[in-house]
Amino acid sequence: MSTAQELIARSNRLGADPKNTNYAGGNTSAKGTETDPVTGEPVELVWVKGSGGDLGTLTEAGLAALRLDRMRALVNVYPGVAREDEMVAAFDYCLHGKGGAAPSIDTAMHGLVDAPHVDHLHPDSGIAIATAADGEELTRKIFGDKVVWVPWRRPGFQLGLDIAAIKEANPQAIGCILGGHGITAWGETSDKCEKNSLWIIRTAERYIKANSKKLPFGARVKKWEPLSPARRRARAAELAPTLRGVASADRPMVGHFTDDKVVLDFLASRNHPRLAELGTSCPDHFLRTKVKPMVVDLPADAPIEKVLARVAELHEAYRADYAGYYDRNKVKGSPAMRGADPLIILVPGVGMFSYGANKQTARVAGEFYINAINVMRGAEGLSTYAPIDEAEKFRIEYWALEEAKLQRMPKPKPLATRVALVTGAASGIGLATAKKLAAEGACVVIADLSLEKAQSAAAEIGSTDVAVGVQVDVSDAGAVQAMVDAAVLAFGGVDLVVNNAGLSLSRSLLETTERDWDLQHDVMAKGSFLVAKATAKAMIEQGMGGDIVYISSKNSIFAGPNNVAYGAAKADQAHQVRLLAAELGEHGIKVNGVNPDGVVQGSGIFSSGWGANRAAVYGVKEKDLGKFYAQRTILKREVLPENIANAVFVLCSAELSHTTGLHIPVDAGVAAAFLR
């Protein structure tokens, strides 16, 4: 393998095990020689994992390649630690070739350390030693002279110089513990470097396991013991909309919930309030979790009304505390405060809610806090957890380089941070709508009578960070509530609801049975009511507004033959739009409808018998029904599921932020169904 390929293979192996480093945490490098295409002469290069990449999924495109001679020559122009941030821009003048990733702040460490291969990682065991009050002494005791202690220093050019000097002064050493931060290891070959990294990590793990006190977090407290799994899930679903509103007071967030055993054990301990207040230490942790979480300080089984009232008080106190942290540490030129809401909310006996600009970010924030709990356990088990102080955390959180990274992020899609729930979404209009909403940035819950089809449709759209499939019978209030619970546990809440579930039986008045009537009204009229009621409650608790869209029909206006039950149910849905628009407007919830006509392609309704019946009514072949419908329209165009999906998106977009109670006809022009 080439040097770069060898580096990628090592990085992928290290990044595949969360014990070695967290997601997108740490960086690796390798030095080697290539031929300069301009001079034809050999040139020494260093390949480094670029800014923001993930070791476990690293590819060659994620590497930055720099000329080693120019990289090391930067030492001669280094203006000192007070201006070290300027050196990041200087890395651009050391790049070899074009393309590749942007060099990260740790590039200096990799280029200046005199070793062919270098790993910088954030293992829980290593950070536990790095954050222990007597970390320097523990480093000597655990590793002897093979690993050297480096006091906390913010990542940058000076840290690279420090570690380079430490390696030179300690030829027997294979790496170092970076106080408050992580580990760095090196080696003459890629395999040796990886072996040295793993030796440091595993040696720390074994020492912690063999020497830790029995209860690192203190004795367990009965009132904070975990509820049963079913009760935890039920309480989490009750809390989720309100907690998402808490996390979204400054800007909308997507949520993630976990009741991982690591979290529950931590929260059941006597010392969790003290440790949570100390916050995280590793920069990779608190950049994603904020400096500390918000902790609900009531028993898990306290009355829900009492818990919700306490959450409001805790939120107010958290915001004031964060504003104080910002005011104490800001300096001239500090970026404006980015928001004072928590990204991690801990509920003893229930679990952890984490938040981010999208589902992946929210999930990863939770994973990082689990890393932080593991770090605290290790440090408390051997010593006392002592993270870097708040002034240093602020320097990282509001670093000009971090602000520049945030400013470089792509503009969010129109529906970013919004959680959409679509019923009848495994096929036809529902599936097209779900795909459209996901493509525009929403997280989507695919709800359908068939769980298998719902999950298959969700997988077609993307990973569980984008779409999940759930089963629902919309005519059953209990099933509808279970669907909403699943949605808020998956993504934190719900913002955009599409009442699409439906069916139709084409029969004349005299042929329509009572069962036919009840079935269609149960699914469409009653079902839409139940879904709207359950989701509106969640939206109101969030306090973030929302959208409810009914997929009604041109038949809610137009009286066609042989569809009395279907047409009446659709008329019911159409008036629900007007009634709910009037009622829910005070909560910022818009309610609108779409009136399609004859969407044959991909339709579950048409393929289940309705198409054959309508074709017989109109005297055409079933396969020609779509063309028949098109010819009777003003525009002579067949209506497709994607046309309905586009209308739903427009209704929920910022462009129609002031529109509610509207029905949009998507029927290619049916004059008899014009709204009057």
What residues act catalytically?
566
* Cβ atoms within 10 Å of 87's Cβ, excluding its own: 20
CA 433 vs. chain centroid, Å, equals 22
Rounded-to-integer distance, Cα 389 and Cα 412, Å: 33
Nearest to 578 by CA among 597, 557, 592: 592
DSSP per residue over 462-527, as a string?
--TTTEEEEE--TT-HHHHHHHHHHHHHHHSS--EEEE---------TTT--HHHHHHHIIIIIIH
Lookup: tokens for 86:
């300027």
Nearest to 596 by CA among 663, 660, 529: 663
In three state form, how does the secondary structure of 55-103 look?
A: HHHCCHHHEEEEEHHHHHHHHHHCCCHHHCCHHHHHHHHHECCCCCCCC
Rounded-to-integer distance, Cα 68 and Cα 29, Å: 12
Rounded-to-integer distance, Cα 193 and Cα 186, Å: 5
Burial pattern 269-283, b for ≥16 Cβ within 10 A else e, equals bebbeebbebbbbbb
Lookup: tokens for 342:
């928590």
DSSP per residue over 383-444, as a string?
S-B-PPPHHHHHHHHT-HHHHHHHHTSPPPPTTTT-EEEEETTTSHHHHHHHHHHHHTT-EE
Rounded-to-integer distance, Cα 234 and Cα 122, Å: 35
Phi, psi angle pair for 354, to nearest 5° = -125, 155
Burial pattern 371-400, b for ≥16 Cβ within 10 A else e, equals bbbbbbbbbbbbbebbbbebebbbbbbbbe
Amino acid, res. 475: S
Lookup: tokens for 467:
């779409």
Q: Determine the Cα angle at 487 with ends 486 and 489, to 5°.
A: 65
Q: For residues 402 and 408, is the Cβ–Cβ distance under 8 A?
A: no
Rounded-to-integer distance, Cα 91 and Cα 270, Å: 48
Give the alpha-carbon dihedral of 470, 358, 434, 536, to 10 degrees. 70
* Cβ atoms within 10 Å of 211's Cβ, excluding its own: 12
DSSP-based three-state secondary structure for 657 = coil
